[in-house]
Structure 1
Amino acid sequence: MTINLPKNVEKIIEMLEESGFEGFAVGGCVRDSLLQKTPTDWDITTNALPSEMKKIFKKTFDTGIAHGTITVLMDSVGYELTTYRIDGNYSDGRHPDNVFFSKNLSEDLCRRDFTINAMAYSHKRGIVDLYSGREDLERGIIRAVGDAKKRFDEDALRMLRAVRFSAQLGFEIEKDTFVAITEKASLLSKVSKERIFVELNKTLSGDFAHNIKFIYSSGLYKYIGKEFAGIKEEFYNFYPRKLGNKKHMYWTVFLKNIEDINSVKKILSELKSDNATKINTDLLIKELRLPLPKNVEDIRWSLHRLGYELFEDYLKICKTDKDNENILKDIYEIEDGYKKIREKNHAFEISMLDITGRDLMYMGIQKGPEIGEILEYLLKKVIKSPKLNNKNSLMALVKEKFLRKG
């Protein structure tokens, strides 16, 4: 079978071969090509040492030189090239203590995590598949290369990666591999929360995200974090949704029924989540617990709490929630009301008022906390009645409420 390599990848492999070395596209790019998917990255492996690669290619960067990896720049795009290697002991359960360079492709492939990721390809040799990766792709299974327990002893994150690939590809985890995960699950506690968070994001957003259930059935959930371990089994009855690439959307759907709303930030903080994901998830879940907006004023209050972008995320989640199928008509009416608010530029935050703190001081209000209190008062009036958002009306309200004695 022939894989259609990008022009630059083909050129890099040809240049390696012309210099007397081997070169192969390897790993996920081969897997995705065989699945008729477009690879996001193209990794290349070779028997050339980093010093030898640097003599072949004009523009290179030392991106992981200790592990035999350099980046070759072609047409302003970087391509990672790595020397065949044999990994030493993994004393920390995550990274090899040392690596040894090899001249043998088979020694490089045997250290990889799963059979579907342990294939290499070049036009010269075709597909090199020593562990029946193509057969496992056809069967739709995730199977460890060689001894699964050894693979997970080497790198505990591989257990979570097995679940992630299952959620992305819709594959089952092969029986012996799954048994090894259940036996080695406690090793996941050695892995950094940041790396775990990345894998969970990819799992939740997968086309077959219902396979997140394997995190629970394998026992991995106990070792992700103390707060995460408290998530109940029913949360893993999760169904896939097309919600774009915003992490907070998937975390909102996953955690929206949590009993203690304070647990949302605790779970995401424990996983070293970025602040935006943590804050936005918390805001969306709080909004989802409120009754649906019944009129345009309610929509403006919702916008006050969320802003334009998060409100649109809120609507998208509502429309894709199976629990809301019987009120879709209401959600579409809310969407229509929202569009009218945007068209008419109704104010829902202080910065949108047609009056400023400077205007209030010009009217005689002393600089200080009262300025903010008056602006909040005016905003409430405008959210209730948008037509009041003009300077004359707002100044009249200030005079009536705050300046009558003067």
Structure 2
Amino acid sequence: MEAPFKDAINIIEQIEEHGYEAFFVGGCVRDSLLDKKIGDIDIATSAKPHTIQSIFDDVIPVGIEHGTVIVRLKGESYEVTTYRVDGDYSDQRHPDHVQFISSIDQDLQRRDFTINALAMDKHGKILDLFNGKKDLQQQLIRTVGNGHERFTEDPLRIIRALRFASQLSFVIEEKTLAAMVQVAPQIRTIAVERITTEIIKLFAGGDVLRGFTYIKKTGVHHYLPVIQEHPSIIKQIPSSLVPLQSFGEIIALLHYIEKTVPIKTWIKEWKASKRNKQEAMELVEALTYFETTGLNSWLLYRLPKAYYAGFIRLTNSLWENSLTVEEIHEEAQQLPIQSRNELAINGLEIQQLFPEKEKGPWIRNLLNQMEKEVVMGNVINSKQELREWIRWNPPEIN
């Protein structure tokens, strides 16, 4: 059994010691079979939530009404969910009622795709009722049962299919794709925050262009915030697009493709955070400067280092460059100063050079000019050199 499962086996064993079944399920099983890095480990069990609460000391009832609790063990969180069958999905997210059951078979039947409808016991034996292993081998995304029903229950599953195509570089099965096209208009009913989570993962996928190929085929973009008013954006996605790692990067890219849509519109319609807005604005400013001037010391100085990697991903996507983060970090380390605080002359000293002048914006303007001259290597950062520069570039004082 792989390392990520070793501690979680203790949870399964304790559940079994109390007379109940428990299996690893979903993405962790899928990724294990694909030899991919395993993220969250989910467990399905015949034990009901209150029983799990009585077995374990540290349990968080995150979704107890739907049978889900979080078991904390050795600093890690494990989602444990009671076997269930779902009623109707009137809100197209949560079932109206949940019926707890004792059969893992029925529980797997309610899942979205065959590659996610796999269960594994503590010995590593796989329970595969819907040919999920075969679909993994054939690199195929296919719904469990009727695709129209699965997508109608929760239309977010359509975007999840696109995301898996991007992440896994899989093909979407023909009938599943047809059902996605039919149900796609219902995407408008989904909370935008849920869509955002999947879109971020889609953009981060190793085969992101495949994801966009399926977006076009299914017409999903006609039901996404902002993009539905500007569907040509999807056609303008660069063929050299590399995986992006944050929503700020995504907004920066989409704004750069369609500059008539302000960043604040993307932020508002997608209910993004202030942090996303700040990142997008910083990146767009850097991209605009780069397009006209190229990569230079001033760009590296002005752009926060936290955004260097995103900037590289975007420039390489938009202009098919081959810049690396290591290269620009190395260049940034060679800058004469890293912040204005390192200037050899400050505002007070500038004022003292012109004692007859009143304080005002001219001091800040002069500092701005000196800062850029020093960063660009035009002036040495010393009091003597800066004073000499000021003598030849006296401030304009109104």
Aligned partner of 2:383 among 391, 398, 406: 391
1:81 is paired with a residue whose SS is strand
Q: Which moved more, 1:348-357 or 1:188-197?
A: 348-357
Correspondence for 1:300:
297
- The one-character-per-residue Cα deviations of 1:155-175 (angstroms, maximum 9, x if unpaired) are 111110010011111111111
1:125–1:283 Cα change, 3 Å: closer
Deviation at 1:116, TM superposition (A): 0.9
Matches within 5 A, 1:175-254: 175-211=174-210, 212-227=212-227, 229-232=229-232, 233-236=234-237, 238-239=239-240, 241=242, 245-249=245-249, 252=252, 254=253
- Offset from partner CA, 1:218-252 (integer Å, 9 cap, x none): 01111111345414242356456366x44444555
* SS of residue in 2 equivalent to 1:6: helix
CA drift at 1:9: 1.3
Letter in 2 for 1:214: Y
- C-alpha displacement of 1:85: 1.6
Unmatched 5+ residue regions in structure 2? none
When normalised by structure 1's length, the TM-score is 0.84
Deviation at 1:322, TM superposition (A): 8.4
Q: Which piece of structure 1 moves more, 279-288 or 213-222?
A: 279-288
How far did 1:105 drift? Answer: 1.5
* Residue equivalent to 2:95: 96
- Classify the secondary structure of the residue corresponding to 2:72: strand
**How far apart are the structure 1 equivalents of 2:185 and 2:396?**
70
| Offset from partner CA, 1:239-294 (integer Å, 9 cap, x none) | 56366x44444555x53761425445533442223333344334434544556687
Q: Deviations over 1:283-321 (max 9, x none)?
A: 4345445566879xx712323542444455434544x44
Gap change, CA 1:43 and 1:291, over 3 Å in 2: closer
Q: Tell me, yes or no, if the aligned pair for 1:223 and 1:229 is still in contact at 8 Å.
A: no
* Distance apart, 1:129 and its partner CA: 1.6
> Matched residues in 2 for 1:206 and 1:355: separation?
48
Could you tell me whether the CA contact under 8 Å between 1:29 and 1:40 is conserved in 2? yes
Could you tell me whether the CA contact under 8 Å between 2:120 and 2:127 is conserved in 1? yes
The reply to whether residue 357 of structure 1 matches residue 356 of structure 2 is no
- 2:279 aligned partner: 280
**Which range is displaced more, 372-381 or 132-141?**
372-381
Shift of 1:356: 2.3
C-alpha displacement of 1:113: 1.0
C-alpha deviation, 1:111, in angstroms: 1.5
Tell me which amino acid in the other structure corresponds to 1:52: T
Contact between 2:67 and 2:81, CA under 8 Å: does it hold in 1?
yes
- Kindly report the root-mean-square deviation, in angstroms, between the aligned alpha carbons of the 2 structures: 3.3
In structure 1, how many angstroms separate the alpha carbons of the residues matched to 2:52 and 2:25?
A: 17
Report whether the alignment pairs 1:377 with 2:369: yes
Cα contact 2:242–2:313 (8 A) shared by 1 = no
Paired residues of 1:22 and 1:47 also in contact (CA < 8 A): yes
Alignment deviations for residues 94-113 of structure 1 (CA, whole Å, 9 cap, x no partner): 22223222222222212111
Percent identity for Structure 1 against Structure 2:
32
Which one of 333, 338, 342 corresponds to residue 333 of structure 2?
Answer: 342
How far apart, CA to CA, are the structure 2 residues paired with 1:404 and 1:231? 49
Task: For residue 21 of structure 1, report the CA deviation from its aligned partner.
Answer: 0.4
Deviation of 1:194 after TM superposition, in Å, equals: 1.5
CA deviations on 1:352-374 (whole Å, 9 max, x unpaired) are 42222333345545444333222
Letter matched to residue 60 of structure 1: V
Task: Name the amino acid aligned to 2:75.
Answer: S
Instruction: Work out whether residues 265 and 282 of structure 1, in 8 Å CA contact, stay in contact via their aligned partners in 2.
Output: no
Q: Measure, in 1, the Cα distance between the counterparts of 2:91 and 2:396.
A: 73
